[in-house]
Structure 1
Amino acid sequence: MTLKKTLTWAAAVFVVWFVAFRPDSAAKVVRGIADLIGHVGTGFGDFFTRLIA
């Protein structure tokens, strides 16, 4: 088994464990990531809007 495959499986097992045993914390992490993606998208949108205007 390669290192990449081993690390991928370890990450998958950790995610399943995290969601199963810490659902509140897992939800906060996902919500934080979604907020970050939203802020980045808004920033790019504002940048291109100001670039064109």
Structure 2
Amino acid sequence: MNLKKVLVWLAVAFVVFYVIQQPESSAQMVKSAGEALGDAASSIAAFVTSLV
């Protein structure tokens, strides 16, 4: 196996381990990321609207 595949599998294993060990923290992290993406989408929409 090449190094890239090994690193990807290690990252996946770490994420799974983290989710199993701290599900509340993981849920909060996903919620925060979703809110950040929503805010970014709103900002882009406002920018595009202001161009018209």
- TM, length-normalised to structure 2: 0.91
Q: Residues of 1 paired with 2:3 and 2:43: CA distance?
A: 37
Gaps of 5+ in 2: none
Equivalent runs, 1:1-53 vs 2, <5 Å: 1-52=1-52
Gaps of 5+ in 1: none
Which amino acid in 2 is paired with 1:47? F
Q: Residues of 2 paired with 1:34 and 1:4: CA distance?
A: 28
- TM, length-normalised to structure 1: 0.90
Q: Runs of 4+ in structure 1 displaced over 3 angstroms?
A: none
After TM superposition, give the deviation of residue 19 of structure 1 in Å.
Answer: 0.9
After TM superposition, give the deviation of residue 3 of structure 1 in Å.
Answer: 1.4
**What value does the CA root-mean-square deviation take over the aligned residues?**
0.7
Identity of aligned residues (%): 37
